[in-house]
Amino acid sequence: MHKFIQELVNGLTTGSVYALIALGYSMVYGILKLLNFAHGDLFMVGAFIGYFVIQWFGGPAALSVPVPIVLLVMFVLAGGGVGALGVVIERFAYRPLRDAPRIAPLITALGVSFFLENTALLFFGASYHIYNTSDFIPFSSGIHIGALDIDMARIMVIVLSVVLMIGLRLIVNRTQLGRQMRAVATDREAAEMLGINVDYTIAATFFLGSALAGVSGVMWGLVFNSVWNYMGFLAGLKAFTAAVVGGIRLDLGSGPGRSADRPGRIVHHRLRLLHLHQSDRVRDPDRSHAPASQRPVSCRRYELAGPLDRRR
């Protein structure tokens, strides 16, 4: 029984890391229909940020500040730094190709992935960099019952992952930004016509997804210790598979295999065509008996139905 629980905890730990990366894939694809294959390499950048924060504070065996502060700085810098990097990538690599054929941004994503991997190789080298987590988070600080050994790093990763997933769900489903994201994912042109800042919404989506990847990179380093420049490729591939199995969409928790294009999925605000009417009919003698569909239409008014509007 202990062995089963041990393997279950190991699987939950690894799955929590992949789940955070997969959420980034889902968010970007849901809003842009773009397979961002550079997303796994953002995970790698976050892992390196965590490693260098440890070195900055004196190394794993001689930290100059308390461990909770080190962990907080690692997660904040990795999330914020990688989130900002994701916004820069979106602005200069993907935004110019937003209306291009879909193969163009896909090839660009692969190019960005190669660029990040080889930049890390240039600056950090090809060798493995070791967190040495056990030097500042002792293995004895976890749960040890007979043959069952769960170290504190794994417990922290699972708990933090659940907190981040719940937080992201609340952002997408309960906030103004989340409603904008869902509107843009459903119909970008209509959302822009209704006054939604599409560029800001897409940039915010990239920031959130990239920040999750950065935090998951730190989690990986804390649990598995080793980070290297090509670690993002395999992790990104596994996370992409998880995203496909779980359903690539912004409507979190929707169930396996459902697409992001199903209509009527905007929570709190739905785009509804309320009025399409004709103005004073200026009848042309030659078209006085024309069908209604061929008569001139002078005004189309689109309105945003609120959450309490359920009229049909």
Q: What is the pLDDT of residue 252?
A: 53
Residues 172 and 37 in one domain: yes
What pLDDT was estimated at residue 146? 76
pLDDT at 278: 34
Buried b (16+ CB within 10 A) or exposed e, 277-307: eeeeeeeeeeeeeeeeeeeeeeeeeeebbee
- Are 36 and 126 members of one domain? yes
In DSSP terms, which residues pair with 150 in a beta bridge? Answer: 143
Give burial (CB, 10 Å; 0-12/13-18/19+) of 89: buried
CA separation for the pair 86, 80 (Å, rounded)? 10
Shared domain for 90 and 175, answered yes or no, is yes
Structure letter (DSSP) for residue 100? S
Q: Quote the pTM value.
A: 0.80
Do 274 and 223 reside in the same domain of the chain? no
pLDDT of residue 300: 40
Same domain, 146 and 211: yes
Same-domain pairing of 95 and 214: yes
Choose among 164, 163, 160: nearest CA to 209. Answer: 164
136 with 285, same domain?
Answer: no
- Whether 236 and 277 map to the same domain: the answer is no
**Is 253 part of a structural domain of the chain?**
no
pLDDT at 251: 59
Total of domains in the chain: 2
Q: Is 168 helix (H, G, I), strand (E, B) or coil?
A: helix
pLDDT at residue 139 in the model: 80
Q: Is residue 44 part of a domain?
A: yes
Within the chain, which residues score under 70 in pLDDT?
249-312
Token readout for 77 is 């810098």
For residue 79, how far is the Cα from the chain centroid? 11
Provide the pLDDT for residue 306: 40
CATH number reported for the structural domain that contains residue 87 in this entry: 1.10.3470
Query: What pairs with residue 144 in β-bridges?
Result: 149
Task: Check residue 272 and give its pLDDT.
Answer: 44
Give, as one character, the DSSP assignment of residue 137. S
Domain limits for position 37 = 2-246
